[in-house]
Structure 1
Amino acid sequence: MSKVEIFRRLHRRRAADDPLVLPGPWDAASARVFAEAGYPALATPSAGVAASLGHEDGQTPADEMFAAVTRITRAVDVPVSADVEDGYGLAPKELVERLLEAGAVGCNLEDSNGGVLKDPHQHAEWLAEVRYAAGGELFVNARIDTFLHGDGDPEQAIERAALYTAAGADCVYPITAPADVLPLLRSGIHGPVNVFAKVGTGPSPAELGELGATRVTFGPGLQRRAAAILHELVQEMG
């Protein structure tokens, strides 16, 4: 069975209190830690990778991001999905080729650029082109930024989700959606739902699963926590 099929199966028939938890490695070393801990798959965070490369979030050159993803996928045997922001302006065919060359089995694709929401119909058309270029070789997670850059209207998020799933997205990701609206989103969205969790605070992954999450990711939270721990260690050394 291919890694992408393994990854797809991990999203299916999940118990309500057992969502797929995908830690976010920012380099090869962190990826090995998560894989050795027993996680069946990983999902890179663009902000965490950016920080490891010395860039601000959203400022990583495409070549550097794909190179970082390649190092991560080579370091572990488990499937790895890659956050490639809004696709770096690449044509769908080239974007898919570069993801596959990097060893990724899936990708996050945002529906905003520079903090501005994209037209959902145009974005859906673009996602459909990505889906066509990828065939069954990539698991496409369509990020919905209405809670991050919009007015936070759950109905708008549901409408975008419908467009994106119709375009071929395998999963949708209403990032930073408040926990209390997750049941509404779950009732209106057909297919897997990715939910953002905060590290060490807020609802646990199991609780998010009971609210409607199919899978849970942490964005750059783990990288930032690791950096904070390192800072504490440096202070102790002094």
Structure 2
Amino acid sequence: MGTPAEKRARFRQLHEAGCFVIPNPWDAGSARMLQALGFPAIASTSSGMAWSSGRIDNEVPLEDALAHLAVLADAVDIPLNADFENGHADTPEGVAANVTRALAAGVAGLSIEDMSHDPGKPLYDSALAVERVKAARGAIDAEGAGAVLVARAEGMLLGQPLAPTLDRLAAFAEAGADCLYAPGLKTAEEIATAVRAVSPRPLNVLMGAPGLTVAQLEDLGVRRISVGGALARAAWGGFLRAAREIADEGRFDALGQAATGAELKALLKP
């Protein structure tokens, strides 16, 4: 198993050219299976992890999130990017301290979003959002092993137009982000515009439902594709369909679509 520094070096190389998919496991088993399927890197999902522990997204305490990241990082030989939400802090100083702790958990990169989760003011003011990215950059540079910093602008998830989101991404790039990410981009035109806005830095696009293919996204200039909590939702969808069939109909037909024990054993075999 590679050292954190080796994983971070490989992770940086992935962002330099081409396009790669970075799927999102929610536990050690799903992480190891994604590695076995040949993905070059993985990213945690705060929502998937929350659901697997009986909670909802954005309600997992920092200590639990850090322990989860350490488990994922130890489970695989490929780089791990942390969905680190808003850094589990509002102030730049708090973000820097928590980023330092996430790096100690062995992550190869991490994302910091500008969503405050304050119902009255869901996004941080632009100036504070930029300072938070600068604080994360400073913590990564101080640690010295070259982890990748991803800055997320969440405005489109709240119904905001594209232009102010792109303004934030540009400001985050100037503040030191290595990769930019705006969940909510949907059309080819929006994605191509975002790619141009952050160039030459790479853009991460979220694919949580059917739509553009990997080849189409690569043609648009996308460097990195993640799926957020969608794989976890897909797994829970299968679970709920089978469980509801049993509870409501007394039938077990949906279990016929389950993965076999032999398939899972083969994927988990060292």
Could you state the TM-score of these two structures normalised by the residue count of structure 1? 0.91
2:108 corresponds to 1:98: no
Output the CA distance in 2 between the equivalents of 1:151 and 1:218. 21
Matches within 5 A, 1:97-176: 97-114=100-117, 116-135=122-141, 136=144, 137-152=146-161, 154-176=162-184
What stretches of structure 2 of length at least 5 have no aligned partner?
246-250, 254-270
Instruction: Give 2:190's aligned residue.
Output: 181
Q: Which residue among 198, 209, 213 is the counterpart of 2:222? A: 213
Q: Which residue of the partner structure matches residue 24 of structure 1?
A: 24
Task: Report the residue type matching 2:36 in the other structure.
Answer: E
Hey, what does 1:69 align to over in structure 2? 69
User: Structure 1: any 5+ residue segments left out of the alignment?
Assistant: none
Tell me the CA shift for residue 21 of structure 1.
Answer: 0.2
Q: Matched residues, percent identical?
A: 31
Residue 80 of structure 1: aligned partner: 80
* 1:9 partner amino acid: Q
Which amino acid is the alignment partner of residue 45 of structure 2?
P
Moved over 3 A (4+): 232-238
Structure 1 position 208, deviation (Å): 1.9
Secondary structure (helix, strand or coil) at the match of 1:112 reads: coil
Residue 40 (structure 1) aligns with: 40
Provide the aligned C-alpha RMSD in A: 1.7
Deviations 1:58-109 (A, max 9, x none): 1111111111111111111111011010011172332122112211111111
Higher RCO structure (Cα 8 Å, ≥6 apart): 1
Query: Which deviates the most, 139-148 or 183-192?
Result: 183-192
Name the counterpart of 2:204: 194
Q: Are the structure 2 counterparts of residues 93 and 182 from structure 1 closer, same or farther at C-alpha, using a change threshold of 3 Å?
A: closer
Question: Partners of 2:45 and 2:219 in 1: how far apart?
Answer: 24
Q: Does the CA-based 8 Å contact 1:197-1:204 persist in structure 2?
A: no
Q: CA deviation at 1:150?
A: 4.5
Query: Highest Rg: 1 or 2?
Result: 2
Distance 1:54 1:101 in 2: 26
Partner of 1:6: 10
Confirm or deny: 8 A CA contact 1:70 1:102 kept in the other structure: yes
